[in-house]
Structure formats: C-alpha cells, structure tokens
Chain A
Amino acid sequence: MADLKAQIIQQLNLQEVKPEEIGNDQPLFKEGLGLDSIDALELIVLLQQHHGIRIANPEDGPNIFYSVRTMAEYITAEKSKTA
C-alpha cells in the first residue's frame, strides 16, 4: 500500500502530501484527502498505466476509490482474475 500511496501522490500532483500522511482507511474524496472528479479520472488512468486494469464504468469509481485499502483490494482482486 505504500507503493500505491506514492503512485497516487505522483499521479495527482499532491506535492505537499507525504505517503505516510495518507491513512489506509482515510476517505480519499471530499472530507478526507479532498480529491475531486478530475482526480477520480486520473486514478482510473493510474490503474490502467501502472496495473493494466481498465475500469469501463466510471460509476464504479466511488466504491473502488473510497480509500487506499479499497483500491489495493480491488487491484489484488483484478490481478488474481487475470493470473
């Protein structure tokens, strides 16, 4: 999950945030890390670029991108499907 946090920070240009400051279960959007709808789209790009996972339906985004933990779990699940 530390790697994923670093990827998120890089992809979203969160220059003043350190990986260890993002809690595993902290909500990424709104009251949590304060991400917006464009960030959500960038996270979709991140999954595609770094993990080869395509999300076709943006409406799935809120569940997958709720926190770093939900994102990591999704990546693990998707990778085990293709493996």
Chain B
Amino acid sequence: MARATVQGRLGERLRWRTAEVVGRGSEYAEATTLMLKVPDWPGHLAGQHVDVRLTAEDGYSTQRSYSVASTPEPGYLEITVQSLPDGEVSPYLAHDMAVGDLLELRGPVGGWFVWRPEQEEPVLLVAGGSGLVPLMSMIRARGSSGGRTPFRLLYSLRSPAHGLYTKELREGLPGLDVTYLYTREAPEGAKREPGRIVPSDLVDHGWPAEFAPTCYVCGPTAFAEKASAYLVLLGHSPERVRVERFGGTGE
C-alpha cells in the first residue's frame, strides 16, 4: 500500500497539466511575463522551476525549463521569458502566445535553490539579467507571507531599459534593499561606473559574512561563477551560497 502512495505522489509531480495564458505582461522589448492559470496546480516553493511543453498541430513537441516568478499559490503561476535570437521556444512564448492559448507544464522541481518563509537568517540575492526571476519569487513569497527577515538584492543588468519587474522593485518593500549594478549603461548621476560585478559591490551592498546570511546567486554561468566565488572569498560559507546557473551570456 505504501508503495502505491509513493507512486501516486510521483505521478503527480510528473503529470503534465494544461495551463492557459490568462495575461501577458511586457517587461521590456525582449522579455515577457506569462500569467498562467493551472486549475489543479499545487503551488511551488520560491526558487523552483517547471518544465514547459509545447506541441504543434502535427504532434511535434519540445520542452524547456523555466523558473517560476510569482509568489507560491495554488492554481496560478507566472513565468518570465526572455526571447533569444534563433530560439526555438522562447520567441514563441515571449511574442506569439496570446491570452487564451494553452501550453503544458509539470513540476514544480528543485529543492535546493529554494527559500522557505520559516527561514530566519538574512538573505542576499544576487541576480544577473533574467536570473532575477526565481529570486523575485523569493521576494514575493517573503512579502505575501508577511516575512520580516531582511533581504538585500543586487541586480546586475545591462542598462535601465533592461530591467525586469521595474515598477514593483521601485515601489519596494520594507526590509528589502535593492542595488542596481549596470553593466553597460548607467542612468545619469549614478555613482557606480557601468561594469560587471566586482567584490566591492558585494562588500558595499551585501551582508557581512558574520551575519551568516543565505546567499542565492542566479544568472548566466559566467556571472554566477564569478559572484559565488567572490562571496566565498569574502568569507561566506560555501554551504550558504546557493547557485543556479542557467547558461548563455547576457548580463
């Protein structure tokens, strides 16, 4: 009997569910947030990802993995897709999908790169480009659970025109500090010269290692590699530096 229970759980996680696009939010030209209604969706943990499957009319199908951007809740989730030139899937999701269209998804998966509201330590989030997506889910989960633990976000992006969730981050939340690290072009009057992340960014805007924060780093491989190495050099315990690399270049 116990065996049957396990299989039931497993089946749940692996089952493809039908999701309907109920809204689209434009982040910037290449990035779109898809709002998805999934009637039997169990909810997720902030930081987890889902597999998305697209099937063409002749039966051809392909799948990709996307982090969930929204706060955990049953029946609904959001993913943010950056359209990549020559991509097979991302341009379709970002530009062609309309409200009422269907896709399939399964999950959520991943138990390592997650933040749970019961965590009490301070949190440092380090995002490179669209690596902000799972970290935004953590920020939103903290907000919706009434969390009081202090969060700091360092967000590396190409220019002010390439920001995700711009308005929401500008409005801010009590206990959330946001620092923007522009890599190519900074707004007028910015004190920091545009450039890639350096250790002093983490010293000036992160947490001292003595506070024993949990650090979540997400971004393209080169960015994630660098930022996590700097954190360890600055004395953060490797066990407390959780990394999700998602490949590609970008910012």
Do they bind each other?
no
Q: B residues bordering A, Cβ < 8 Å? A: none
Q: A residues bordering B, Cβ < 8 Å? A: none
